[in-house]
């Protein structure tokens, strides 16, 4: 059973000579699950292959972008074709208009959309725009939601729930954090109180409508609608960070699924088809405040570059075909049901969550509704579960507080193989 990881081990030693921690994003270092990160050689469909030629069924899917699976022929061809004309011009192309039109027609809150190169840029820019539009400084974020690494977002709750934040990372000055108020997920009253305690000072509320960065935590009934009502009453811009959920849980994202329309939306991941893309969009009167139309500045050398646009267009065209989300739903519910049965049969305390093709298992007997309850999960048990699955050729996110993703490339056979492997591992825990 023991897999050979020789080449990944030496590759990790080599990469650490030149790259901090040997990785270009911290979660890839396997710190919370132990063991040596796998160095990947290639991916195809639902599978990835490491440099020791081990094969895995992949449920990370590059943290969400690869809803079609790895190296989809139409996406690869789109990138190759675009590259033959050139990789970037720093000038407008019709490809940007084509992707923007698809997004505007798909996402209910978006009248105008600006392309950037990451989800971080999308969230950072949307917040600056909300501040410029409202001429207010404070922002409200949800504990456990992640919107990239802009300074004002690396903040945790201060002493009192509705008081100002304190930095959640070195290098973030205290006075950058003081304008950020943190509230618990699934608690609309906390948002109401925070706004009341800071009258006419809150520019925006930003949240993931379905949390994906504390593990998957769905919104409780009425939560999103209540936040929509509270923010509308007080002239506070409501920003849905749909970097994960956009085009994932429905073609129009979580705002279509729950029929709650924010003022602005952040997108990323899927709209780039695996290439670096982020985007932010929203109501015309807000978006018209961004340069060059208005006083709020934002820019980017590679924003809307033709390769990323081509990959995104190819991806969204396939997602716009009929029964795509029905297929994703069927595969994902089969997996979720199998995993639920497996934890029950193994007598393992677990709380299962899923919305569409994003899902999680928390090793806790509690109901997970926010970050506090998510953190009751036994992360040592999760690490053992992760390693047991890896040994059996199943690659899930190397952290309890991430989402698993099913793609259109995951076959029924992949799902059954995964359930069998999970059953074995859970029995051994
Ligand atoms: P990027 O800057 O990583 O493209 O996007 C930031 C971001 C914004 N909003 C949401 C809801 C996100 O989930 C993310 C990034 N997600 C993480 C993991 N869930 C990316 C993985 C990583 O950091 O390496």
| Catalytic residue of the set 241, 263, 378, 414 | 241
Q: What CATH class has 73-319?
A: alpha beta
pLDDT of residue 161: 47
Structure-model confidence comparison of residues 175 and 326, the more confident one: 326
The average pLDDT across 204-230 equals 98
What tokens appear for 4 in the block? 């050979």
Q: Determine the distance separating the centroid of ligand 1 and the alpha carbon of 197, expressed in angstroms.
A: 31
Say whether 112 sits in a helix, a strand or coil: strand
Burial (Cβ within 10 Å: 0-12, 13-18, ≥19) of residue 175: exposed
Please indicate whether residue 2 or residue 8 has the higher confidence score (pLDDT): 8
Q: Which atom of ligand 1 is nearest to the CA of 244?
A: 11
Classify domain 6-71+323-428 at the CATH topology level: 3.90.1150
pLDDT for 2: 80
What's residue 291's pLDDT?
98
Report domain extents, the chain.
6-71+323-428, 73-319
3-state SS assignment for residue 147? coil
Average pLDDT (348-369) is: 98
Q: What pLDDT, on a 0 to 100 scale, did the predictor assign at position 160? A: 54
Task: Check residue 165 and give its pLDDT.
Answer: 79
For 67-103, b where at least 16 C-beta lie within 10 A, e where not — what string? bbbbebeebeebbeebeeeeeeeeeebebbeebbebb
Peptide bond into 315 cis (omega under 30): no
Residue 238 has pLDDT above 90, yes or no: yes
pLDDT, tens only, 147-188 = 999 999 999 866 554 466 788 999 999 988 999 999 999 999
Is-catalytic flag, 41?
Answer: no
Distance CA 140, CA 185 (A): 11
Question: Reading across the β-sheet that carries 55-58, which strands appear in turn?
Answer: 40-44, 47-50, 55-58, 394-395
Among 46-60, 162-176, 201-215, the minimum mean pLDDT is found in 162-176
**Residue 351 CB burial class (10 angstroms; 0-12, 13-18, ≥19):** buried
User: Is the pLDDT at 237 greater than 70, yes or no?
Assistant: yes
To test ligand 1's pocket by mutation, which of 32, 141, 148 has the most ligand atoms within 8 angstroms of CB?
Answer: 148
Q: Which residue in the block uniquely carries the two structure tokens 């195809």?
A: 44
Q: Which one of the listed residues 59, 146, 385, 395 is annotated catalytic? A: 146
- Work out the burial of residue 389: count CB atoms within 10 Å of its CB; fewer than 13 is exposed, 13-18 middle, 19 or more buried: buried
Indicate if 317 belongs to the active site: no
Instruction: Indicate the burial class of 321 (C-beta count within 10 angstroms; 0-12, 13-18, 19 or more).
Output: exposed
Residue nearest to atom 5 of ligand 1 (CA): 119
Q: Does residue 175 or residue 251 have the better pLDDT?
A: 251
Look up the pTM and report it.
Answer: 0.97
Q: What is the pLDDT of residues 69-115, one digit of tens each?
A: 999 999 999 999 999 999 999 999 999 999 999 999 999 999 999 99
Instruction: Name the residue among 335, 334, 357, 337 with its Cα closest to residue 345.
Output: 337
What is the residue with the minimal CA distance to atom 21 of ligand 1? 63
Taking residue 263's Cβ as centre, other Cβ atoms within 10 Å add up to 22
Nearest CA owner, ligand 1 atom 19: 213
């Amino acid at each position: 059973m023991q897999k050979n990881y020789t080449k990944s081990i030496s590759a990790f030693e080599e990469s650490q000579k030149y790259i901090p921690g040997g990785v270009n994003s911290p979660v890839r270092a396997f710190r919370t699950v132990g063991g040596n990160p796998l160095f990947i050689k290639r991916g195809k469909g639902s599978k990835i292959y490491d440099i020791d030629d081990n094969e895995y069924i992949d449920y990370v899917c590059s943290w969400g972008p690869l809803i079609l699976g790895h190296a989809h022929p139409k996406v690869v061809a789109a990138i190759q074709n675009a590259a033959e004309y050139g990789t970037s011009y720093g000038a407008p192309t019709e490809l940007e208009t084509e992707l923007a039109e698809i997004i505007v027609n798909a996402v209910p809150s978006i009248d105008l959309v600006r392309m950037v190169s990451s989800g971080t840029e999308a969230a950072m820019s949307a917040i600056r725009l909300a501040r410029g539009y409202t001429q207010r400084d404070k922002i409200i974020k949800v504990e456990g939601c992640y919107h990239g690494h802009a300074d004002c977002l690396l903040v945790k709750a201060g002493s009192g729930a509705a008081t100002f934040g304190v930095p959640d990372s070195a290098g973030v000055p205290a006075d950058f954090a003081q304008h950020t108020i943190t509230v618990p997920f699934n608690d609309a009253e906390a948002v109401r109180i925070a706004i009341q305690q800071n009258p006419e000072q809150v520019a925006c509320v930003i949240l993931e409508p379905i949390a994906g960065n504390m593990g998957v935590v769905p919104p409780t009934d009425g939560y999103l609608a209540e936040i929509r009502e509270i923010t509308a009453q007080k002239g506070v811009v409501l920003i849905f960070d749909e970097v994960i959920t956009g085009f994932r849980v429905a073609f129009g994202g979580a705002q279509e699924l729950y029929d709650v329309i924010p003022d602005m939306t952040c997108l990323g991941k899927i709209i780039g088809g695996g290439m670096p893309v982020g985007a932010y969009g929203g109501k015309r009167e807000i978006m018209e405040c961004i340069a060059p139309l208005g006083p709020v500045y934002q820019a980017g050398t590679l924003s809307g570059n033709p390769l990323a646009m081509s990959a995104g267009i190819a991806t969204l065209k396939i997602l716009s075909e009929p029964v795509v989300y029905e297929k994703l739903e069927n595969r994902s519910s089969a997996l979720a049901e199998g995993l639920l049965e497996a934890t029950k049969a193994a007598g393992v305390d677990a709380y299962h969550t899923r919305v569409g093709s994003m899902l999680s298992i928390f090793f806790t007997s509690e109901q997970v509704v926010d970050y506090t309850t998510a953190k009751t999960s036994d992360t040592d048990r999760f690490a053992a579960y992760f390693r047991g699955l890896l040994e059996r050729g199943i690659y899930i996110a190397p952290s309890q507080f991430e989402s698993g993703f099913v793609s259109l490339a995951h076959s029924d056979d992949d799902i059954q193989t995964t359930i069998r492997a999970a059953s074995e591992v859970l029995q051994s825990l």
